[in-house]
Chain A
Amino acid sequence: MDVLQLIVSGLANGCVYGLIAMGFVLIYKATEAVNFAQGDFMMLGAFICLGLTNAEFMGLPFWVAVPLAIVIMGAFGYALDLVVLRQMSGQSQIAVIILTIALGFVLRFAAGLIWGHEPVSLQSPIAGRDVRFGGLVLGLDEIAVIAVTVLMTFVLWLYFNRTKLGVAMQASSQNQLAAYYMGIPVKRVQSLVWALAGMVAAVAGILFASKGAIDPSVGLLGIKAFAAAVIGGFGSLPGALVGGLIVGLIEPFASRYIAAGYSQIMPYLLLFLILVFRPHGILAQVHRKKV
């Protein structure tokens, strides 16, 4: 029973990592850039929802606040690409990485200024309720996290592989110039991807905030999610989920069966091993470059 409980809580944590990782992968798949501020996007999404629904702020009903927060984050992502990242097209990947790291600093500061640095939790109807299966006590929030994540992965996967816009997004990253020739509005497609990443981050943030308290520095979780994305294979959506689940599962088991200090290390140790032995992740999508 104990192990089962560990598995479920690990899975729920892993799903949040997976959702953040999916944001990374989305942007990477379509623009070949890496958004190091994805964790801070998640934090921002959580705080926006919290600001809309919590009684001490605006006090809107939960089911109004959630779509509103998702839409706001989508608009934020679109605007960010329009104003900032579009200037960066044609520059090196590293420049974009550094830019998004800096953006993360700024977002964390802004959130701290608006909502304070004290941990707060989201007042949601799924928080703190239990579901019983026989002797097993599971939090409703954990089950909701897992269900939503699986659904999101499936929808996004379908979107990328079956819809016209999804294929256009892939095309615009694989060969920008050729995509232009084929009549794909590359710039708009990239802005749309950033919007999508913002929305996914908002969902991740809302789920995370209803599982426990958040504060502005929670965005640093993004680094762990990043490890998850690489373990699964950067550029693969199901890979991101798999990576997130692996990281989420490793942590509680490592802290229980090895030693408490090691649970922090394990994800990164795994990441390092994966990078050395299978540099492109478990579900790899890269083949050797031909000249």
Chain B
Amino acid sequence: MRTVFKTSYDADINLFRHGAQFGWYALLLALALLLPLGVSTFAIGEMTNLLIWAIACMGLMVLVGQTGQASLGHAAFLAVGCYANVLLQTELGLPFIVAFPLAGLIAGVAGAVIAMPMTRLHGIYLAIGTLAIAILTDDFIVVAAPLTNGVMGLFAPDIDIFGIGFNRYANPDRLYYLVLGITLLVVLLYRNLQRSPLGRSFAAIRDSEISAQAMGVNVARTKAIAFGISAGITGLGGALMGHFAGIFNNETFNIIISIQLLLAIVIGGLGTIHGAFFGAAVVALLPQAISMSRDFLGQFLGGGSIAIPGLEAALFGAILIGFILFEPSGIYGRWVKIRTYFELFPFYRKDMFRRQKSYLKTERMR
């Protein structure tokens, strides 16, 4: 294990812990940049999808992983971001480069406004409140048909930045680079948030609301800000999702999507940026993996490809149950354990990552 010798206070909040870490991430970035040279157009499309999901997952991660507030309604903010982005472009004629950040801002403000009355709630009540918002948004899109075209849905226009077109089918590589760039910006924002006083007060609220209050953190305001930032990033993800899908309606952002988003970050590993990417990979690639293995099985068994309805959701659920029971810290947590095992070999002990168990106490009187 590499021991970092900190000689200044700033060393504690550096962007990278040590030089080697920077090297590894630079290598990863180089790989991501070179990817379109090596793989097929289809694979690039899948990678773009993965990155978009990663943005949405990071949005939810700010709220759930960083601040410790559960939300079952983030599909609502995906929808707000997506509709705002497309409507600003088609109705007001704004270019993508203006409409896109504006869409994030609108989603963020919507998140903060919705959060204000709900910051009094915590735990399951918050989860339920956000669930209600997701369902209300779904229905609102249908009711506001003159603007949103209801269940018929809207077409997303092609992205156009200073005359350069980005289309999923015409030039997938360009769209990939655009999404990669946005993802990098969001990662940087997230990382900086973690190192700032605001990010630390998020963590304080997550770990104990009462002690955060005692340390002088304005709990209600900080929660509302967390909601706002989270909804904003998720809105950006939603806007990209709309462009990627091409056509979307209220069903694109139903309650199942919010649940899937939450499940993704749990599978990936709560509270880390890596977790958002791992979770996004599972959500984005699982349908393809299923259909591929089904074709393979079909050929192998001699019959055609068999379609079983609901298999995807069930498999997703089963994977999730496995993770919660056996590896609650997610894929990233497992990776950290494996890494530590090799770094400390042969001194790794089984109880090194043991979690503290607590006994249950209720706030109810009877």
List residues of A whose CB falls within 8 A of some B CB: 29, 31-32, 34, 84, 87-91, 93-95, 97-99, 101-106, 108-110, 112-113, 117, 170, 173-177, 216, 223, 226-227, 230, 234-235, 261-262, 264-265, 268-269, 271-272, 275-276, 279-280, 285-287, 289, 291
Contacts and interface: CB of A to CB of B under 8 A. Distances in A.
Contact of B135 (A87, A117, A268, A280): A268
Interface stretch (B14-22, B113-121, B195-203, B291-299): B113-121
A106 B360 contact: no
A67 B25 CA distance: 61
A264 B139 CA distance: 8
B363 interface: yes
A272 B128 CA distance: 9
Question: Chain B contact residues (Cβ within 8 angstroms of A): what range?
Answer: 35 or more
Interface stretch (B52-60, B100-108, B234-242, B306-314): B306-314
B169 interface: no
B263 A93 contact: no
Most B CB within 10 A of own CB, among A29, A112, A271, A275: A275
B320 A102 contact: yes
Contact of A285 (B64, B314, B320, B364): B364
Contacts of B127: 34, 94, 97
Given A261-B143, A276-B118, A90 B313 contact: no
Interface string B353-364: 000011111111
Nearest to A269: B136
A94 B133 contact: no
B359 A106 contact: no
A101 to B, nearest CB: 6
Contacts of B262: 98, 101
B129 A109 contact: no
A109 B311 contact: yes
B366 A285 contact: yes
A272 B129 contact: yes
Contacts of B123: 93-94
B142 interface: yes
B203 to A, nearest CB: 15
A94 B70 CA distance: 7
- Chain A facing B: main interface SS: helix
Contact of A176 (B266, B324, B359, B366): B359
B253 interface: no
B256 to A, nearest CB: 9
Interface in B234-266: 255, 259, 262-263, 266
Nearest 3 Cβ contacts at the A-B interface? A109-B314, A105-B317, A90-B357
B215 interface: no
B71 to A, nearest CB: 10
B125 interface: yes
A271 B318 contact: no
11 contacts: A102-B318, A108-B310, A109-B313, A109-B314, A110-B314, A112-B310, A174-B361, A176-B360, A261-B143, A268-B136, A269-B132
B321 interface: yes
Given A101-B263, A176-B361, A268-B135, A95 B324 contact: yes
B366 A177 contact: no
B65 to A, nearest CB: 11
A113 B132 contact: no
Nearest to B140: A265
Contacts of A271: 128-129, 132
Contacts of A227: 128, 132
